[in-house]
Structure 1
Amino acid sequence: MVEPVRKRAVFFIGGYDPKTPDAFFERFRRDLSRSGELWNLVSSTQRADNEPARDIGTLAIRTTSADAGWETRTDFTFFSLDTIVLADFARPPPVRLWRYLVAFADFVASGTAGRFFIHAWRFGLYFLYPFAVVLACLLLGAVAAAGAWRWLGPFALALGVAVFALTLGLAGRRWSIAHLMDLWSFSRDHMREQRPEADALLHRFAEAIRDRVAEETYDEVLLVGHSTGGMIMLEVASLYAALDTPSRPGTATLVLTLGSTALKAGYHPAAVRFRERVGRLAQDRRLGWVEVQCLTDVINFYKTDPLAEMGLRSNRTEPFPIVRTIKIRSMLQADTYRRVRRRLFRVHYQYVFANTKPYWYDFFQIVCGPVPLTERAQHALVGSPAARVTAS
């Protein structure tokens, strides 16, 4: 029998998205309600911010099960990258394009893009996707200029530039190309230590974790990162561990990375600071790490050990990280799966959306249920089985 988690702290960083705590919690509450319908649970939520801020927000959650007789309280803190993302979005289009092309050339010239294709070829195609669209828009501009040269002469070049800018702008809005260009620019700049405001924010997140854990007694502390947030949360966890004692005696503290893209930095030869931080985390036995990957999701490094891929080693006898793979087909009803399976970003976000079928991986069971994460991951537990936890 395993003691249930009665009180948990969750700290969450999502991907490179312009999302405030208010916006995130609005969607979170909707999916929490859907999850409750699936598992026959009742959850209540209340904002618990001492000082509401744009980049940090906390939601107090109380989840109960009348059937199994347990109650778990969760303090869920959302760390927002909104200010950084919006600042990047505000750059003039030519600047955004130039910074992206520099980043693209960097990943290719350093050999990092080649490693994408060797270890996760579908992620490699995802890396090429925005560049291919830029090239297609450039080709359209060139065709327009060539076709108009007979009538406009050198002025046809201006037409070509206009067609290129127009089609790229449309693609940026329709297929998130501008967003992806900024994502790769940010990733390149951050791992090369050229975004001091981002690093300052990571230190602030680490300090916020320390302060909240010092104020309360928790059975479990989860440091969760999704997508690019998986890369960032590894750094935050390392910074947090370096501050003071990461948790009180008896508290399990774990990093949980979901559909992580951390290896886009881990593979890059210039990301020295990033690997040093992950390396320190690997040697700190006070924290565990669970990595969740998925074949259906293009935007992750499926069936890789991220620590080994970075050339790092752990001093532990137990696995670090615990790498688990999931099947989104098994998490969703057939009609829902058919509707979303070809939508690149919708599949990528399923890690943090509510399931519509019972399955061992369930974000809201992990966040709000009584089963410890390590127990759930190691034994692929579905729901909150009474055989595995002692009722409160």
Structure 2
Amino acid sequence: MGKTSTDRVKQRRVFYIPGYDPIHPRRYRELYRSESAAQAAISGYEIGLTAKPAGENYGWSVDAVIDAAPVHCDVEVLVWSDIVRDSMSTSIPATYLQLLRTAWVYIGSGALWRLMKLRKGPVIAALYPVGMLLLQLGIATGLCIAMFPIVTTLLLGVLGLSLHYIPLMALCLLAGVGAAVALLRWFKKLDGKFYAYYLMHDYAYSASSKGANPPELEARIAVFTDTIATALQSDAEEVLVVGHSSGAHLGVSILADLIRQGRVPATGPSLSFLSLGQVVPMVSFLSDAHRLRADLRYLSARDEVTWVDVTAPGDGCSFALCDPVSVSGVAPTDKKWPLVFSAAFTQTLSRARWKELRWRFFRLHFQYLCAFDRPKDYDYFQITAGPMTLADRYADRPPSKSRIDRAVSKYTSIAA
């Protein structure tokens, strides 16, 4: 479908779908600016960014010369950070209630145990906020209890005051509760270092509806679908959708809707989908994720799109080398996509760079969008700003032999 795969790309439209992220998309522009310059210096090509006029979506323009071919690229970020911020605006007690509900959804449904059969890393990442929040609560409770002897000693031993038992205990309890609340608020204020609240809200967002898209997200998917449909009427040679982390399963649904609606012109731009660091099973393994499972099944057999899925075992926050269609138990007999392969961090990063990043788990989850100092056949900036379509670039690329492509999910029902 679209322009022939042998056409050299001179113009490209890129739509980047971030994961569950409350921060303004400006961060992605600055990341692209700095990391593209670093990769260009390593790989020997030219690339530069310019700002775009304000529009419906935040974006920027890229001009590059790669393999002696000039390419112009317009990048837009499909923003849903406002939805994320709204879902995170909860109190401390409400977050602990989320913890209980989310744990019940994943444990009670059996999804957690099946996810552990795929990769331990993302399951540990999912359990981390539970453990960290319980630890914080335990420390706060310990401080509350410790206030009893502290206040008693201060009043009786230091100040020499004499209080009856009941007023004394009430004062100790009040001081203890106050200290515990203050400590919990301090922990929340420092969540930029702990990520406990952030990750808890992330997992709770999908778990609250057991994998179904909340209404506000369905409305945003419809808007994004219209935006990409418009781009498919342009003179670009390729329209590339990039979904990172939770953005990958949004991309699946957007593209499935686009094709179902007959909005991919036969003579339009090549349509490509690049999913990076995906966490699809965290949603597709839930009981009510009928819509996502139907979209996975449908998209995996379509000729209108080229779908490449890139992960890496070094990324402990993604389901590395897990075919999101197959492990969800919805692979059709005529399945074509995705092509699953590894970014192989231990090979594409120098030993010194890998040593520097190895234990920075959240930074590694974004490595797909960054420069590699020993690049192989995965280069985010050549994919987004180079002269080859995604289909041409990986036409002869075999899938990784160590990929997991067996059905694991307990729930395989799909939307009608």
Q: Name the TM-score, length of structure 1 as normaliser.
A: 0.87
Task: Point out which structure has higher relative CO (alpha carbons under 8 A, 6+ apart).
Answer: 2
Q: Give the match for residue 279 of structure 1.
A: 297
Q: Give the match for residue 172 of structure 1.
A: 191
- Asked if the contact 1:226–1:260 (Cα under 8 Å) also holds between the matched residues in 2, the reply is yes
Pairing 1:43–2:53 present: no
Deviation at 1:237, TM superposition (A): 1.3
Q: Give the match for residue 403 of structure 2.
A: none
Deviation at 1:232, TM superposition (A): 1.4
- Asked if the contact 1:171–1:177 (Cα under 8 Å) also holds between the matched residues in 2, the reply is no
Deviation at 1:30, TM superposition (A): 1.9
Pairing 1:211–2:233 present: no
Aligned pair partner of 2:324 in 298, 306, 324: 306
Decide whether aligned partners of structure 1 residues 268 and 308 sit closer, same or farther in structure 2, where only a CA change above 3 A counts. same
Q: Give the match for residue 289 of structure 1.
A: 307
- Distance in 2 between residues matched to 1:240 and 1:18, nearest whole Å: 26
Deviation at 1:261, TM superposition (A): 0.4
Please tell me the root mean square deviation across aligned C-alpha atoms, in Å.
2.5
- Asked if the contact 1:97–1:181 (Cα under 8 Å) also holds between the matched residues in 2, the reply is no
Deviation at 1:257, TM superposition (A): 0.7
Residue identity in the other structure for 2:202: L
Residue identity in the other structure for 2:365: H
- Distance in 1 between residues matched to 2:75 and 2:210, nearest whole Å: 27
| Cα displacement string for residues 316-346 of structure 1 (whole angstroms, at most 9, x for unaligned residues) | 36x3111111211333233222211110101
- Asked if the contact 1:360–1:380 (Cα under 8 Å) also holds between the matched residues in 2, the reply is no
- Distance in 1 between residues matched to 2:296 and 2:6, nearest whole Å: 30
Decide whether aligned partners of structure 1 residues 276 and 286 sit closer, same or farther in structure 2, where only a CA change above 3 A counts. same
Q: Give the match for residue 254 of structure 1.
A: 272
- Distance in 1 between residues matched to 2:346 and 2:96, nearest whole Å: 37
Write the mapping of 1:324-343 to structure 2, written as runs, cut at 5 A. 324-343=341-360
Decide whether aligned partners of structure 1 residues 32 and 247 sit closer, same or farther in structure 2, where only a CA change above 3 A counts. farther
Aligned pair partner of 2:365 in 319, 341, 348: 348
Q: What is the total number of aligned residue pairs between the two structures? A: 374
- Uncovered stretches (5+) of structure 2, i.e. residues with no partner: 153-167, 399-416
- Asked if the contact 1:64–1:72 (Cα under 8 Å) also holds between the matched residues in 2, the reply is yes
Pairing 1:18–2:36 present: no
Deviation at 1:5, TM superposition (A): 2.3
Decide whether aligned partners of structure 1 residues 272 and 40 sit closer, same or farther in structure 2, where only a CA change above 3 A counts. same
- Asked if the contact 1:217–1:248 (Cα under 8 Å) also holds between the matched residues in 2, the reply is no
Deviation at 1:290, TM superposition (A): 1.0
Aligned pair partner of 2:339 in 322, 327, 333: 322
Residue identity in the other structure for 2:239: V
Deviation at 1:21, TM superposition (A): 3.6
Aligned pair partner of 2:238 in 220, 230, 241: 220
| Cα displacement string for residues 88-136 of structure 1 (whole angstroms, at most 9, x for unaligned residues) | 2333232233224312221111111111211111211111100011121
- Distance in 2 between residues matched to 1:117 and 1:95, nearest whole Å: 27
Deviation at 1:303, TM superposition (A): 2.7
User: Which entry has the higher C-alpha Rg, 1 or 2?
Assistant: 2
Q: Which secondary structure state, in structure 1, belongs to the residue aligned with residue 341 of structure 2?
A: strand
- Distance in 2 between residues matched to 1:104 and 1:13, nearest whole Å: 27
Q: Give the match for residue 404 of structure 2.
A: none
Residue identity in the other structure for 1:52: G
- Distance in 2 between residues matched to 1:380 and 1:289, nearest whole Å: 13
- Distance in 2 between residues matched to 1:250 and 1:315, nearest whole Å: 28
- Asked if the contact 1:18–1:85 (Cα under 8 Å) also holds between the matched residues in 2, the reply is yes
| Cα displacement string for residues 153-194 of structure 1 (whole angstroms, at most 9, x for unaligned residues) | 464462574266246425523211111111112222365446
Q: Name the TM-score, length of structure 2 as normaliser.
A: 0.82
- Asked if the contact 2:273–2:307 (Cα under 8 Å) also holds between the matched residues in 1, the reply is yes
Q: Give the match for residue 390 of structure 1.
A: none
- Uncovered stretches (5+) of structure 1, i.e. residues with no partner: 382-392
Q: Which secondary structure state, in structure 2, belongs to the residue aligned with residue 119 of structure 1?
A: coil
Decide whether aligned partners of structure 1 residues 303 and 23 sit closer, same or farther in structure 2, where only a CA change above 3 A counts. closer
Alignment identity in percent? 21
